[in-house]
Amino acid sequence: MRSGLVQSFFAPTTRPRIVRAEGVWFTDSDGRRYLDASSGPVACNLGHAHPRILDAMMRQARDLTFAFPTQFETEVNERLGARLAELSGPGLDRAFLVSGGSEAIETAIKFLRQHAVAIGEPERWKVIALEPSYHGNTLGALAISGDPVARQVFAPLLASQPHVPAPLTYRVPENHSAESWARHCAGLLDEVIRREGPETILAFVMEPVGGTSSGANVPHELYHRAVRDICTRHGIALVHDEVMCGAGRTGCFLASEHWPGVRPDVVVLAKGISAGYTPMGAVLAPASMVDRVAAAGGFMHTFTYFANPLSCAVGLAVLDELAAGDLVGNAGRMGALLCEGLNRLAQEFRTIGDVRGLGLLLAVELIADKETKRSLPLVLNAVGRLQEIALGQGLALYARRTAGGRWGEWFMVAPPLTVTAAEIDELLNRLRSAMFIFEAEMEALQTS
């Protein structure tokens, strides 16, 4: 491993060296092509090298690349904030722009904390979140992320925060259906709030549609409604982490739109709002809360690159493109097609236990036994091996194990929102080839 590479920080493995990307295709230094089945880490929502995004970037770069928001205002910042608020709907009126999902989660928590202090409720500081879940890798975001293995390593550095079980739909405990487990999980949230003391709770944070930590788990509608009621009843802010599922990926701009009436108090966005062209994250909050914090002396929170003009221009161009190409609609249509194809593969391959998700945020869970839903032996690192095999078939998959696979293992299938029906066929064909090799190898390993 050559020491200049960031990969030198990780366990050694070989990866293709990418030199170019266009649309859904990556090209490596040997000229081999890989279909991007996951938009990188579910970020590159417009595919690669989109000419209109590159034009917007170049135009902005010539005009202005940096102006610090405590010193200057910029038009691109104002326009992007207004556009995000308009797309997010009433009550999510103001946007604080940062450089990614973890920063945005930190920003949301600090903003809510400052608001609580400003309104005379300084005893509120606890943030409840789901397990499994992922909200980022900075220390505050990690403290709320529902990954007990990662938390254990960093525990001395983290504030201890309460967690409640996620309403998983595939691996439900014995004698539960997805619906009864969702009801039970909502009850547990209420119980934890009462036990901790509602007056000490700042927020409940959840992904309305799960990302890699739960493999695109779509909580039962009942859970969404119950959680909204519980948070309202106890006066706790409901924060939706839409870093992965937002910006149109599920077929609506915000994933929460799938459950009419379920409106979060604060929303966190990242990834898709700049589609991987520049680092970008956003916190959307009600004007009344923002005004309160501003009136109490102002938000004690800046980053060097917050509301960066170049990133704002990219964000605006991405949102223009989503509208011009009806890409949110395309996510719904292509997602349905892709989901159908993945379900056909699930019939064909005995190691595919579940296909789930919404729109173009889909995941495939690998198992050893369909009847018992038993996972493949963790030592086989099945999903890691499938990723390697898929690369050999010219297909780039994305997976990350939560807590070393405690809740099972899956890979994301989340191509760019620009994907066509022909590209979905190609993706499915390549995945099918990879699955044949993978199953043969797993069988050989388990019988040897």
Ligand X SMILES: Cc1ncc(COP(=O)(O)O)c(C=O)c1O
In angstroms, give the least distance from the CB of 211 to ligand X.
Answer: 4
Contact window for ligand X (CB under 6 A) among 61-69, 94-102, 155-163, 357-365: 94-102
Asked whether position 100 contacts ligand X by CB under 6 A, the answer is: yes
Number of residues that bind ligand X (CB under 6 A): 14
Asked whether position 150 contacts ligand X by CB under 6 A, the answer is: no
Asked whether position 108 contacts ligand X by CB under 6 A, the answer is: no
Asked whether position 426 contacts ligand X by CB under 6 A, the answer is: no
Question: Binding ligand X by CB under 6 A: which of 83, 135, 356, 401?
Answer: 135
Site string for ligand X, 231-250 (x = CB under 6 A): ----------x-xx------
Asked whether position 40 contacts ligand X by CB under 6 A, the answer is: no
Question: Binding ligand X by CB under 6 A: which of 81, 132, 162, 211?
Answer: 211
Considering beta carbons, is residue 239 or 316 the nearer one to ligand X?
239
Contact window for ligand X (CB under 6 A) among 81-89, 99-107, 168-176, 256-264: 99-107
Considering beta carbons, is residue 44 or 434 the nearer one to ligand X?
44
Distance (Å, rounded) from C-alpha 266 to C-alpha 114? 14
How remote is the C-alpha of 420 from its chain's centroid? Answer: 22
Distance (Å, rounded) from C-alpha 321 to C-alpha 327? 8
Asked whether position 321 contacts ligand X by CB under 6 A, the answer is: no
Asked whether position 267 contacts ligand X by CB under 6 A, the answer is: no
Asked whether position 417 contacts ligand X by CB under 6 A, the answer is: no
Picking from 117, 114, 118, 149, the residue whose alpha carbon sits closest to that of residue 131 is: 149
Considering beta carbons, is residue 131 or 207 the nearer one to ligand X?
207
Q: Is the dihedral of CA 144, 147, 150, 153 positive or negative?
A: positive
Picking from 131, 137, 140, the residue whose alpha carbon sits closest to that of residue 167 is: 131
Distance (Å, rounded) from C-alpha 417 to C-alpha 319? 12
Asked whether position 41 contacts ligand X by CB under 6 A, the answer is: yes
Neighbours of 198 (CB within 10 A): 16
Contact window for ligand X (CB under 6 A) among 65-73, 95-103, 120-128, 426-434: 95-103
Q: Which residues bind ligand X (CB under 6 A)?
A: 41, 100-102, 105, 134-136, 207, 211, 241, 243-244, 270
